[in-house]
Amino acid sequence: MPSTAKTLHFISSALITAISVGLMGYAMSKQWARTTIQCARGGSGLFNGTAILTLELFSGNLERTSCPSFGGDERFNVFPKLTETGVTPLALYSMVLCLLVLCLLFSACSILICLYNSVSNPYETYMGPVGVYTCSSLSACLSVLALIIFVVNINVTSMAEDLVKNFAGGLLVDLKNKSSEMQLGYYLIIPYTVLCLGAIGVTYNYDHAAYKQRKEQQRPTEDAPKEIMMY
């Protein structure tokens, strides 16, 4: 049976990771970005309209004011609409979602490994602290990569403009002055990353203490005279 210290450390690591999973699940249900674009009827040069695009991971909302007609408020599913626009925004958006799913998968593996270590003494393999380091570090790295790709997709590609033009009903429309703000769902991934690193820190704290204890127990044997060790 594992020691009390080991059980407490790995239970704590599992709890931290479970909190991070709940946080990401909540983040995936909230708004991620809000983009505002000035709008004009094609060729008029009079940019007196606006389009406000609000995105969650799976759905979105487009609020149009004189863009290009009187406007409207449309709710839509993100992936079907992106398939009607460009290949690059769809690929990047799909990549973000895949990375987030992988984060959840690796976090679940980390929780299982922590729980296994809290009730048993596995060898130093992927089922020990090494497994927690690997799964939690992958979760942290992939979550950061998802944040970067999402920002690039919102600000660099023409995803927002293409979605606005898709709702214009075939009318020509000119767009300019795009400005984007990240929303709550996006920012909640940052504490998720921090919690993954925290789980690594708790596990390392135990692993390092256990390593020092093993070294101290081996030292008397190493320092003993050769004559005594022969017996």
pLDDT of residue 230: 37
Architecture of domain 4-206 in this structure: Up-down Bundle (1.20)
pLDDT of residue 43: 65
**Cα–Cα separations (whole angstroms), residue 47 to 38, 44, 79, 163, 223:** 6, 8, 29, 18, 83
pLDDT of residue 3: 76
**Distance between CA atoms of 198 and 17, rounded to whole angstroms?**
8
**Residue 168 pLDDT exceeds 60:** yes
Local confidence band at 140 (pLDDT 50, 70, 90 cut-offs): very high
| Cβ-proximal residues to 29 (8 Å cutoff; 6+ apart), any chain | 56, 57, 185
Task: Specify whether the backbone of 71 is left (phi greater than 0), alpha (psi in -120 to 50) or beta.
Answer: left
The pLDDT of 206-224, averaged and rounded, is 61
**Residue 103 pLDDT exceeds 80:** yes
- Summarize pLDDT for 49-94 with one digit per residue, the tens: 888 999 999 999 999 887 766 667 889 999 998 898 878 899 999 9
Local confidence band at 167 (pLDDT 50, 70, 90 cut-offs): confident
Q: Are 49 and 40 in contact (CB under 8 A)?
A: yes
Q: How many CB atoms lie within 10 A of CB 178?
A: 17
**Residue 224 pLDDT exceeds 90:** no
Local confidence band at 231 (pLDDT 50, 70, 90 cut-offs): very low
- Summarize pLDDT for 104-138 with one digit per residue, the tens: 999 999 999 999 888 887 766 778 888 899 999 99
**Residue 165 pLDDT exceeds 70:** yes
**Distance between CA atoms of 157 and 178, rounded to whole angstroms?**
11
User: Sign of torsion, CA 86 92 98 100?
Assistant: negative
186-199 burial, b for 16+ CB within 10 Å, e for fewer?
bebbeebbebbebb
Strands 59-65 and 71-77: antiparallel
Local confidence band at 8 (pLDDT 50, 70, 90 cut-offs): confident
What ranges do the domains of the chain cover?
4-206
Q: 130: burial class by Cβ within 10 Å (0-12, 13-18, 19+)?
A: middle
- What are 216's two structure tokens? 């101290």
83-111 burial, b for 16+ CB within 10 Å, e for fewer?
eebbeebbebbeebbebbebbbebbebbb
**Distance between CA atoms of 157 and 224, rounded to whole angstroms?**
69
Please indicate whether residue 178 or residue 213 has the higher confidence score (pLDDT): 178
Q: 170: burial class by Cβ within 10 Å (0-12, 13-18, 19+)?
A: exposed
**Distance between CA atoms of 113 and 108, rounded to whole angstroms?**
9
Strand partners, 72: 64
Please indicate whether residue 229 or residue 80 has the higher confidence score (pLDDT): 80
- What are 115's two structure tokens? 């729980």
Percent of the chain at pLDDT > 70 equals 84
Mean pLDDT of the chain: 84
